[in-house]
Amino acid sequence: MADQAKRGFWDTIRSYPSTFWVANTMEIFERMAWYGFFAVSSLYITGAVETGGLGFSSEQRGQIQAIVPFFLYLMPVITGALADRYGYKRTFIVAFSVMIVAYYSLGQFHSFGGFLMAFLFVAVGAAIFKPVVVGTVARVTDKTNSSMGFGVFYMMVNIGGFLGPIIAGIVRGWDWKYVFIGSSIWAAVNLILVLTLYREPTTEAASGRGRTFRKVMDDTVEVLGNLRFVLAVFVVLIALMIANQGMEWLSWGRCAVVIVIWLALNFGYDAALRGRKTREDRKPRGGLLQPMRCSNWRFALYLLIMSGFWTSFNQIFLTMPEYIRDYSDTRGMIRLAGTVTRGLGFSEESAERVVGLLAAVDEEPLVGELDLLARMHVEGTGPSEQDLEQAARKILGYKVRVTPERLANLVHSIPHARIEVDTGILDAELQNWVKESESLEIRGAASQAIRDVIETHGPVLPDDALAAVHRRVRNLGVDVSRDQLRQTMLLAAYLPLARPIIEDGRQVNPEYIINLDAAAIILFQVLVSFLMARFHRFTTMIVGMFVAAVGIGLSMLAGGTMIGPTGGSIWVVVAGIVIFAVGEMMASPTSQEYVGRIAPKEKTALYMGYYFVSMALGNLFGGIISGQFYGHFARDLGRPDIMWALFGAIMGVTGVIFLLYDRFAVPRTAERQEIEV
């Protein structure tokens, strides 16, 4: 580490070969492709079919988002081994070719099974890519520059993760198909880069002495033990994944029984095999006839400990968006954005556009909820206090915070309110419905007919009035369906009435606040990695885990209620995210760099593939506790502070275990930085 400490910042930057920078550039575009879809996947999967979404339930969305990442992070064990054998460049070409087709196909399937298969196809491409790009960074760096090299790489990960959702958020406003086309384009850019600029850092594929496919698979399982050991662990993980889907036939209780029986059968089978060996004084024939064996328990333990890190880490992305939506009042950020925009000399109109970008309200479902409540009031069937509370929670999901009491006042005033039709909405929609070549007179007549009906009947439109105005505008030559017309009339009638609660209660999109994590990493990752290169890798990881524990646990102090006059302090949440990002900058890239350094050169991608197993476990465990903790502590008990304290405790305990691991499990080598492999 002394050589690294002596090397200056710019000397370290200049020490990286061109392949390092090509790999990092490809990582940016790959993350733009992945997060360009994944960041908005919940909206697409559960969005109404009329708006271009799939219309799936939240439960179906949860199943898809649990299954796909789990397999994505398991597959690199195999794809990394194949990359070491057949060459990184060839593997990259396969990965990007798969991604181009897979991302586009996401927009072509609309059934649950079809979309799931297309998403798994995307996961295959990403799983082929992941161990190879990290393996490239590991192969073209050495102990004098790898710490900063992996920091640069992690910064590139977050640049892609930052830009992808922003671009996707813009183009999905045009049409959902552009999200999938965009992801395919980013993959195509990477294919061009690898074909023209990437230089192969491996040697086995061109040596003429490459391993057979059978040998590659044998070497894959031999990293941790043997086929029996890998199979036993794999079945346990699959059982946990299925139980997490809420299947009745494999509840958590039944899953525990299945796992116990499965492990008992394996240990019993091992006892029989060892007895056979003693009686016949010969070794089993191999494969499934070998007892389970964990040949590299230190590495296996390292991966298991890192899964604790990823379990807590994932709460920033799994739990924090929902928590911000339900418990945090973000109006202070809106006011700050407006003040800064005006202070920079921009016009009031520009300030409004900035606010609209940060706090885009889902207007269509919001007016649909208001219409439902207003109809209940007009018909004398409600709304009850429970109806109003449920509606307030739904509207909070549309990014407007309003109390049930204010909602009740608005609903009761609707039948007596003076109607001011939003003609801007009518004019915009009529331009879509009426061809440019047709007369402006048609649009004017249709607009007048719609306004007359709204002003006569109010926002709560009777079915016969809607049918009559639909016939009238169709007779004028306006090509519009009844559902389209109804939705447009609801927006034009209700939005002027709802404007006060929207302006007073609109909230910043949670994904933008979460993106502060990526923004902090983009700004400071290289500096943090350069400074941390002077310390031992384990020291950096352990301190990083403790810092991250403080950050993720800080939200317990934010306060706030799910439905109330104000939410919790968003500035406490932001501080927690930024502090967490500092810990992440220390722990995450260093943990990848460490595996890259201990791996034999001819098996770098294979070992990096195994590193992603810890992330697979973190996604599985993190998803399980995210849903369970949020449902019990935050939603049912109204105590999100307990939930965040537990998430922080998981990260802190992981740091303590890692400290003990470093003290008692790692051999005391000259540089105290190797696990026996």
CA distances for 630 relative to 57, 68, 485, 627, 653, angstroms: 18, 22, 39, 5, 20
pLDDT of res. 30: 93
The CATH number of the domain holding residue 566 is 1.20.1250.20
Q: Are 500 and 517 in the same domain? A: no
**How many Å apart are CA 148 and CA 20, to the nearest integer?**
12
The confidence band for 5, taking pLDDT boundaries of 50, 70 and 90, is very low
Q: Are 466 and 596 in the same domain? A: no
Q: Domain for residue 347, yes or no?
A: no
Burial call 95-126: b when 16+ CB within 10 Å, e when fewer: bbebbbebbbbbbebeeeeebbebbbbbbbbb
The confidence band for 526, taking pLDDT boundaries of 50, 70 and 90, is confident
Q: Are 553 and 638 in the same domain? A: yes
pLDDT of res. 580: 94
Q: Are 199 and 216 in the same domain? A: yes
CB 203 within 8 A of CB 234: no
The confidence band for 670, taking pLDDT boundaries of 50, 70 and 90, is very low
pLDDT of res. 135: 82
- Checking if the pLDDT of 51 tops 70, the result is no
**How many Å apart are CA 29 and CA 193, to the nearest integer?**
10
pLDDT in tens, 472-500: 988 888 888 888 899 999 999 999 999 99
pLDDT of res. 538: 81
For the segment 578-584, the average pLDDT, to the nearest whole number, is 93
Q: Are 306 and 288 in the same domain? A: no
Q: Domain for residue 34, yes or no?
A: yes
For the segment 656-667, the average pLDDT, to the nearest whole number, is 84
Residue that is written with structure tokens 């086995």 in the block: 204
CA distances for 570 relative to 443, 548, 566, angstroms: 45, 18, 11
CB 365 within 8 A of CB 488: no
Q: Domain for residue 352, yes or no?
A: no
pLDDT in tens, 229-269: 878 888 887 887 777 666 678 887 888 999 999 999 989 98
462 three-state secondary structure? coil
Burial call 20-39: b when 16+ CB within 10 Å, e when fewer: bebbbbbbbbbbbbbbbbbb
The residue out of 222, 251, 271 marking a domain boundary is 222
Quick count: other Cβ atoms within 10 Å of Cβ 502? 18
Quick count: other Cβ atoms within 10 Å of Cβ 482? 14
Q: Are 464 and 582 in the same domain? A: no
CB 400 within 8 A of CB 361: yes
pLDDT of res. 285: 57
Q: Are 309 and 404 in the same domain? A: no
The confidence band for 3, taking pLDDT boundaries of 50, 70 and 90, is very low
Q: Domain for residue 437, yes or no?
A: yes
More confident call, 502 vs 38: 502
The proportion of the chain whose per-residue pLDDT surpasses 70, expressed as a percent, equals 86
More confident call, 506 vs 532: 506
Q: Are 313 and 260 in the same domain? A: no
**How many Å apart are CA 197 and CA 24, to the nearest integer?**
12
- Checking if the pLDDT of 219 tops 90, the result is no
More confident call, 187 vs 226: 187
CB 337 within 8 A of CB 354: yes
For the segment 129-145, the average pLDDT, to the nearest whole number, is 83
Strands (E) across 87-242 are located at none
CA-CA-CA-CA dihedral for 210, 207, 598, 137, to nearest 10: -110
Tokens (6 digits) for 550: 């403080």
Q: Domain for residue 349, yes or no?
A: no
Strand partners, 265: none
For the segment 32-58, the average pLDDT, to the nearest whole number, is 74
The confidence band for 4, taking pLDDT boundaries of 50, 70 and 90, is very low
Q: Are 472 and 547 in the same domain? A: no
Quick count: other Cβ atoms within 10 Å of Cβ 356? 11
The residue out of 222, 237, 262 marking a domain boundary is 222
**How many Å apart are CA 545 and CA 305, to the nearest integer?**
11
For the segment 412-434, the average pLDDT, to the nearest whole number, is 83
CB 418 within 8 A of CB 401: no
72, HSE (Cβ side, Cα atoms, 13 Å): 24
- Checking if the pLDDT of 2 tops 50, the result is no
Q: Domain for residue 83, yes or no?
A: yes
Burial call 540-561: b when 16+ CB within 10 Å, e when fewer: bbbbbbbbbbbbbbbbbebbbe
Tokens (6 digits) for 256: 């525990």
Q: Are 59 and 87 in the same domain? A: yes
Q: Are 169 and 309 in the same domain? A: no
Backbone φ and ψ for 329, nearest 5 degrees, come out as -95, 110
403 three-state secondary structure? coil
Query: What amino acid is encoded at 255 in this protein?
Result: C
**How many Å apart are CA 384 and CA 378, to the nearest integer?**
13
The residue out of 487, 506, 525 marking a domain boundary is 506
pLDDT of res. 208: 56
More confident call, 201 vs 90: 90
More confident call, 43 vs 651: 651
Q: Residue 124: which of 104, 83, 96 has the closest Cα?
A: 96
More confident call, 676 vs 306: 306
Crossing angle of helices 227-243/252-280, nearest 10°? 170
pLDDT of res. 21: 92
Identify the weakest region by mean pLDDT among 52-66, 205-219, 295-309.
205-219
For the segment 374-402, the average pLDDT, to the nearest whole number, is 89
Q: Domain for residue 86, yes or no?
A: yes
Identify the weakest region by mean pLDDT among 543-557, 636-650, 659-673.
659-673
pLDDT of res. 207: 57
The confidence band for 507, taking pLDDT boundaries of 50, 70 and 90, is confident
pLDDT in tens, 156-183: 888 888 888 778 877 776 778 888 999 9
Q: Are 239 and 216 in the same domain? A: no
Identify the weakest region by mean pLDDT among 390-404, 485-499, 501-515, 521-535.
521-535
CA distances for 33 relative to 38, 94, 106, 317, angstroms: 9, 16, 12, 18
Q: Domain for residue 81, yes or no?
A: yes
- Checking if the pLDDT of 286 tops 70, the result is no
Average pLDDT, the chain: 82
For the segment 33-45, the average pLDDT, to the nearest whole number, is 78
569 three-state secondary structure? strand
pLDDT of res. 564: 62
The confidence band for 100, taking pLDDT boundaries of 50, 70 and 90, is very high
pLDDT in tens, 9-28: 777 778 888 889 999 999 99
- Checking if the pLDDT of 465 tops 60, the result is yes
Quick count: other Cβ atoms within 10 Å of Cβ 210? 16
| Number of domain units in the chain | 4
pLDDT of res. 61: 67
pLDDT of res. 643: 92
The single-letter DSSP state of residue 248 is G
Classify residue 61 by burial, with Cβ atoms within 10 Å: 0-12, 13-18, 19+: middle
Handedness of CA 661, 528, 19, 183 (dihedral sign): positive
- Checking if the pLDDT of 311 tops 60, the result is yes
Handedness of CA 326, 328, 329, 330 (dihedral sign): negative
The proportion of the chain whose per-residue pLDDT surpasses 90, expressed as a percent, equals 23
**How many Å apart are CA 117 and CA 614, to the nearest integer?**
24
More confident call, 658 vs 77: 658
pLDDT of res. 595: 76
Q: List the domain range (segments joined by +) for residue 249.
A: 227-293
